[in-house]
């Protein structure tokens, strides 16, 4: 025998309802209390939630802002949100919204992007200096909707490639909270100034003032303080920050295979050529330049390295190397001041896009025999001893043709017969 559960008949339900209605009519005070308690509960909920909602709105409500872009050199391409065709920017533009993409061409280009500037660029909460080859996306720019809010200004930028300098000093009590996203991770910036460089391989951050935090999935947060730099790739973050200076040269101490870093060359027309040899001397690895052959004939032998690194974001550029002169048959530096027993020469492209510019410095120990043979771009040093040369800041020396990219470096000996050495070569950018 089965037992089925069935609903009570409709007559029973109706009777139950009528019974309770009668009881409520007999005791109206109960109904009143129920209504009163329900109303008080609703009142309490509204009393709490409405001020909280209002307070939350006053504190966290935001409004989108615009940026100002001003080219100082060259032409920028601006892609407004959703646009497939760019707008060429050659002068000040005040209404750059969130979602915009800014592209600096490969030619000589510089521009200033003022963040959260509104209609008054001079009141920008931060700024970005863009350089040739940069591609920047403005993902987010927000300010508090109400002045009483204690929340900071917010800017989130994505540098997909290239170099830029970031300044996050707002000049107000309310700070600018800036996040820089790259293909390799994110960088949170405190109030300060920074240099960011993105290549397909990695992201580099240098802190001039403030502090930067590298945020990388799968890695612990890394804080970079002033005067230091760090990097991250798609797979890893630097173990610890290092000094802000960066050596642009590879294998400047000649401890690695030459074929991977330096290329040798010889100039000698139908005469005995010079040679360059890597050897151990005085407990160090050195490049040894030597020629012994016909006299009174010009020759040259050297090594060179292609660098191809942008230096727009750096304020200092200096060269250091150790030199030892052993012999020179040609006095001084020749009648053109170009034939030294050892000379270093840097080739660069300036901020105006002019290529093939050079700066060099030579070393000799024999004075010129001819008083008309002037020494230009060289110095006399003592022979047979190691001499450490430290250049001045080349960014200041070359300020009229300020370097934007270091293309190459060569170290060579020239003249008649010569013997010289070089070691510990550094081209440092800061």
Span 105-128, pLDDT tens digits: 887 888 888 887 655 545 667 888
Q: Read off the pTM.
A: 0.72
The alpha helices in 128-278, defined as continuous H runs, are none
Pick the CATH number of 62-244 from 2.60.120.1440, 1.25.10.10, 3.30.413.10, 3.40.50.970: 2.60.120.1440
Return residue ranges of the chain for CATH 2.60.120.1440: 62-244
Mean pLDDT of 73-85: 89
Q: Give the pairing of strands 67-73 and 153-167.
A: unpaired
Mean pLDDT of 398-404: 94
Strand (E) positions, 62-192? 62-64, 67-73, 76-79, 87-89, 93-96, 101-104, 110-115, 126-131, 135-144, 153-167, 176-182, 185-189
Q: How far apart are CA 179 and CA 134, in angstroms?
A: 17
Span 94-104, pLDDT tens digits: 889 999 999 99
Q: How far apart are CA 332 and CA 325, in angstroms?
A: 13
Q: How far apart are CA 293 and CA 273, in angstroms?
A: 8
Domain 258-429 is in which class? mainly beta
pLDDT averaged over every residue in the chain: 84
Residue reference for tokens 């030619």: 107
Span 43-65, pLDDT tens digits: 666 666 655 554 544 445 778 88
pLDDT at 172: 61
């Amino acid at each position: 025998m089965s037992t089925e559960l069935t609903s009570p008949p409709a007559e029973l339900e109706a009777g139950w309802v009528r019974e309770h209605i009668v009881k409520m009519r007999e005791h109206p005070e109960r109904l009143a209390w129920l209504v009163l308690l329900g109303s008080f509960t609703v009142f309490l909920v509204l009393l709490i939630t409405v001020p909280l909602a209002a307070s939350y709105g006053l504190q966290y409500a935001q409004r989108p802002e615009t940026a100002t872009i001003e080219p100082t050199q060259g032409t920028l391409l601006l892609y407004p949100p959703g646009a497939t065709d760019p707008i060429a920017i050659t002068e000040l533009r005040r209404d750059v919204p969130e979602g915009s993409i800014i592209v600096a061409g490969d030619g000589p280009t510089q521009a200033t992007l003022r963040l959260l500037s509104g209609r008054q660029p001079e009141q920008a909460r931060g700024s970005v200096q863009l350089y040739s080859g940069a591609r920047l996306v403005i993902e987010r720019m927000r300010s508090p909707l109400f002045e009483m809010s204690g929340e900071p200004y917010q800017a989130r930028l994505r540098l997909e490639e290239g170099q830029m300098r970031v300044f996050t000093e707002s000049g107000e009590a309310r700070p600018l909270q800036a996040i820089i996203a790259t293909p390799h991770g994110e960088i949170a910036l405190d109030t300060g100034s920074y240099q960011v460089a993105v290549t397909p391989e990695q992201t580099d951050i240098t802190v001039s003032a403030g502090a930067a935090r590298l945020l990388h999935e799968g890695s612990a947060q890394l804080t970079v303080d002033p005067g230091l730099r760090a990097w991250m790739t798609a797979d890893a973050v630097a173990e610890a920050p290092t000094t802000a200076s960066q050596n642009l040269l590879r294998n400047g101490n000649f401890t690695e295979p030459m074929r991977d870093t330096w290329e040798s060359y010889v100039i000698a027309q139908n005469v005995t050529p010079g040679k360059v040899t890597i050897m151990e001397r005085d407990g160090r690895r050195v490049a040894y330049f030597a020629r012994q052959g016909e006299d009174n004939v010009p020759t040259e032998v050297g090594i060179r390295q292609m660098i191809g690194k942008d230096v727009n974001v750096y304020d200092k550029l200096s060269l250091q190397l150790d030199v030892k002169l052993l012999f020179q048959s040609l006095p001084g530096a020749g009648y053109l001041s170009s034939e030294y027993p050892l000379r270093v020469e840097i080739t660069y492209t300036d901020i105006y896009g002019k290529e093939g510019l050079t700066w060099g410095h030579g070393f000799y120990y024999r004075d010129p025999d001819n008083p008309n043979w002037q020494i230009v771009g060289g110095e006399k040093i003592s022979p047979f001893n190691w001499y450490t040369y430290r250049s001045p800041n080349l960014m200041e020396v070359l300020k009229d043709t300020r370097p934007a990219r270091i293309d190459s470096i060569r170290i060579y000996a020239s003249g008649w017969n010569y013997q010289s050495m070089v070691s510990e070569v550094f081209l440092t950018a800061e």
